[in-house]
Amino acid sequence: MNGVTYNGASARADLVSPIGTVSGFVEHDGFRKTTNADAGIRAQPLPFFAISGSVSQSVPSNSGGSSLPSLTSMRGEAAIKLFRPWLSAGIISTDNTTGLAPLAYDTLLLPTPPGRASARTAAIRGPVLAGFGVDAWVAQWNNSWSYLPKYESRSEINYANNFAKRFPRGDFEVRAAGVFEYRSHTQFRLSAGTIETGVTKTLSGILEIRILRAVLSYQQRNILGYLYEVVPGFEMPRVLATYGVRWDFWN
């Protein structure tokens, strides 16, 4: 680039055992002049209990003159199997650098100070009964940061059926889901003061029908036409419909 050569190198290692997996990844980014490392573990010592966690760090290269700060992020989660679905709780923590602001929307938005942003999470995921399943999570962020809602959640009830008795070759399948998403007030900092977005509540649905390898898909977001903004002054669509066909083939 501009007569300058940038080099990068990376390595990955995984240790797999009957109860879990430990993985590691390290990369040197010659363009950004940083060294990035990730380590994670996922274990299920009991049929009804599982844990997972990861830590990642990005360190600037002293010899490369990088202006980027060191960043560390961590995540941990523990889950128990409640009949068929899994119920989990966890934490997220990440460094927040100076300058975080959605300037693409408004250049007057003020940057955030450095520090750490953290959240507590809870989720329930998995099959329930007779083709029905659930996939729901909620996150509670600390109050000290702008541009992040204190609460956000997504709840999905889904259904899938391939009618195996009627179509034993697996040539037909129906999938449907209803989704409810929620975001609490979000603060945006300006030199004239702080403004807030309203509470966001949207209901969406999706229907997919697979015939052989073709999938007919129809999705409708914000079915109730709720007025909301993710960024102040930028109103989101009332109802958004997306439909199409996916088809896998080869010769």
106 phi, psi to nearest 5 deg: -160, 120
Task: Tell me the pLDDT tens digit for each residue of 172-189.
Answer: 999 999 999 999 998 888
Q: How far apart are CA 39 and CA 57, in angstroms?
A: 9
Note the pLDDT tens digit of each residue in 91-137.
999 887 666 677 777 777 888 777 788 999 999 999 999 999 999 99
CA distance 117 to 31: 27
- Give CA–CA dist 34/72, Å, rounded: 13
Please tell me the predicted confidence (pLDDT) of residue 2.
67
- Confidence check: pLDDT of 66 > 60: no
**According to the model, what pLDDT value does residue 194 have?**
84
**CB neighbour burial string for 46-79, b if at least 16 within 10 angstroms, e if fewer:** eeeebbbbeebbbebeeebebeeeebebbbbbeb
How far apart, in whole angstroms, are the C-alpha atoms of residue 45 and residue 60?
37
Nearest residue to 59 (alpha-carbon basis) of 89, 17, 29, 97:
29
Q: Give residue 249's pLDDT.
A: 76
Question: What is the distance between the alpha carbons of residues 114 and 20, in angstroms, rounded to a whole number?
Answer: 36
pLDDT band, residue 216 (cuts 50/70/90): very high
The closest alpha carbon to 37, from 61, 16, 17, belongs to: 61
* pLDDT score of 229 more than 60: yes
Q: Provide mean pLDDT across the span 196-218.
A: 94
Please check the confidence at residue 166 and state whether its pLDDT lies above 70. Answer: yes
Residue 63 confidence (pLDDT): 55
Q: How confident is the model at residue 250 (pLDDT cuts 50, 70, 90)?
A: confident
